[in-house]
A = this chain, B = another copy of it.
């Protein structure tokens, strides 16, 4: 049996569900993966930071203390509230974890969207792993799929619907609601944020596009390199016009090489033909079509999302670390 010590940096809904999921799967973690996991420390904005019951100054001290643990595996679990325009404070937490000699898993897209190449290189040098399955499409394997099951295959492009709020809004305006009505409903249902601009303006999708391009295509970009068009008051007319032509409007995130060999990253509403795999994704469904060199196109679809799925993204990364990393 291998002992795993965890430090939870951020303790909102995702981290809480992660902890309860750990508990629900405790026996199978032991019997199938020979792992026994323990939360050694945590840091939250509201209640402060502590490690082994002792008060710490901040998240960075918790991470540093985790680095001194004698457990077989030491893993920072990063789930803070993200500033999607610069990737902080998640990037600093990831970097601190790596520097303390800990593995790091995160559900935040910021670190991979803004600093993947650097963080990946730092983790390699330190002999630890930095994983982030939950950053795109929750717990549905995207990064682990390509890394683990598609060896020798090159990803040459992708196309996806990766933001749920905008997909809900488009479905509602297609049915005749105004953009403002649709958005208000999403906010009332807790699907859209009080400040919905990050979703609506396409920043969330752009950050996921940069993350996918960085990891799957070695792009070394930030979300600012993504040509970005969001939704606005004109979206209702556009969605209904598309429908009248037998097409469906979707906020599509895509990457492809242009004729000159340059990578074009785009987030924009597109009117897709009805038989396009992305055309009929219902409100909370997401999907990603990978264009590959050997296997043509492969799509993976998440038919619904939930907190459990995001929490599972963290758990699957912990198991991936245990599978590939020897004890120190």
Q: Which residues of A contact B (CB under 8 A)?
A: 21, 25, 28-29, 32-33, 138-141, 144-145, 148-153, 274-275, 277, 280, 282, 287, 289, 294-304, 306, 308-309, 312, 315-316, 319
CB pair B303 A277 closer than 8 Å: yes
B316 in contact with A149 (CB, 8 Å): yes
Q: Are A308 and B294 in contact (CB under 8 A)?
A: yes
Q: Is the CB of A294 within 8 A of B275?
A: no
Besides the known contacts A144-B148, A152-B319, A301-B301, 17 further A-B residue pairs in the complex with CB atoms under 8 A apart:
A21-B294, A28-B152, A32-B151, A140-B298, A141-B149, A144-B149, A145-B149, A148-B149, A151-B319, A275-B282, A277-B280, A294-B308, A294-B309, A294-B312, A296-B302, A296-B306, A299-B303
> Which of A32, A141, A145, A309 neighbours the largest number of chain B CB atoms within 10 Å of its CB?
A141
Contacts of A308 in B (CB 8 A): 294-295
Q: Are B277 and A139 in contact (CB under 8 A)?
A: no
Which residue of chain B lies nearest to A301 when distances are taken between CB atoms in the complex? B299
A149 near B151 with CB under 8 A, answer no
Contact across chains for A309 and B280 when beta carbons are under 8 A apart: no
17 pairs from A and B in contact (CB 8 Å cutoff)? A25-B152, A141-B145, A149-B316, A151-B319, A152-B319, A277-B280, A277-B301, A277-B303, A280-B280, A287-B299, A294-B308, A295-B308, A297-B303, A297-B304, A299-B299, A300-B301, A301-B301
B300 close to A299 (CB less than 8 A): yes
A303 & B309 in contact (Cβ 8 Å cutoff): no
Chain B residues with CB under 8 A of A140: 295, 298
